[in-house]
Amino acid sequence: MILVVEDDRTLSESLCKGLSEAGYSCRTVHSRKEAADAMELLPDLIILDLGLPDGDGIAVLKMVRNRSAELPVIITTARSELSSRLKGLSSGADDYMVKPYSFDELLARIRIQLRHFERTQTRWEIGDLVIDLPSRTASRSGQVLDLTPREFDLLAYMASLHGEVATRQMLQESIWKVRSNMTSMDNVIDVHASRLRQKLGEFGGVPLLHTVRGVGLVLKEGK
Ligand code: CA
């Protein structure tokens, strides 16, 4: 169950509706007090608004961390609350999103957080493509691909998503470690994706790296 702590009722209801449609069970609470009570329901993940009517969301975060070091918490915050946002990360949030954010982006981040514990995987097979993390090699039908370190990072990251879409924002942050809304890495991402796609196709085989128009990339067999 995903717990949405958000005092904007229109937002929290539409969030829960979207999450339910995506197959998650969801509960909304609208205050710090209700959030504390809802911990008894043992949520799997918390989406936490920082500005609550009866206190700071950071207090909720601390309460959550006292109970569990592992429970994923994604903070949502207004752009103006930059300092509280940084405070949120140092208080143990796993991720944050600046309002207004796209629902698809939030969904992608939720999936990543929920998959966190499965992320010990070091080898992936996608059709005839094999990616081996310890040796940092990738091959198709046994033929090793000649990838740059950055291209390999991109490929391994895509593989770790198990066929889920990586948004440009996720790629920018995970591969290029650029966490700014000011700098657009779109061209850089496109160039690397296009080179990687070319190298993946060098020995033939079905296309594996697909562009999702306006969103990002996905690595999978078939469209
Ligand atoms: Ca609020």
Query: 113 alpha carbon to ligand 1 midpoint, in Å?
Result: 23
- What is the rounded average pLDDT of the residues 195-216? 93
Given a cut of 60, is residue 118 above it in pLDDT? no
Backbone angles phi, psi at 78, to 5 degrees: -75, 150
For strands 45-49 and 51-52, give the pairing. Answer: unpaired
- Partnered with residue 166 across adjacent β-strands are 217
Spatial distance between the Cα atoms of 199 and 38, rounded to a whole number of angstroms: 50
**pLDDT number for residue 33:** 94
Sheet architecture: strand order including 216-219: 166-167, 216-219, 209-212
Tell me whether the CATH fold assigned to 2-120 matches the one assigned to 123-219.
no
Query: 48 alpha carbon to ligand 1 midpoint, in Å?
Result: 9
Query: 220 alpha carbon to ligand 1 midpoint, in Å?
Result: 38
Domain boundaries in the chain?
Answer: 2-120, 123-219
Given a cut of 90, is residue 25 above it in pLDDT? no
Spatial distance between the Cα atoms of 131 and 100, rounded to a whole number of angstroms: 36
Query: 202 alpha carbon to ligand 1 midpoint, in Å?
Result: 51
pLDDT tens profile 57-114: 889 999 998 888 778 999 998 866 667 667 767 778 888 898 889 999 999 999 888 8
* Superfamily (CATH) of domain 2-120: Response regulator (3.40.50.2300)
- Going by pLDDT thresholds of 50, 70 and 90, the confidence category of residue 23 is confident
CATH code for the structural domain at 123-219? 1.10.10.10
- Going by pLDDT thresholds of 50, 70 and 90, the confidence category of residue 117 is very low
Measured at the CA of 64, the angle between CA 55 and CA 179, to 5 degrees, comes to 85
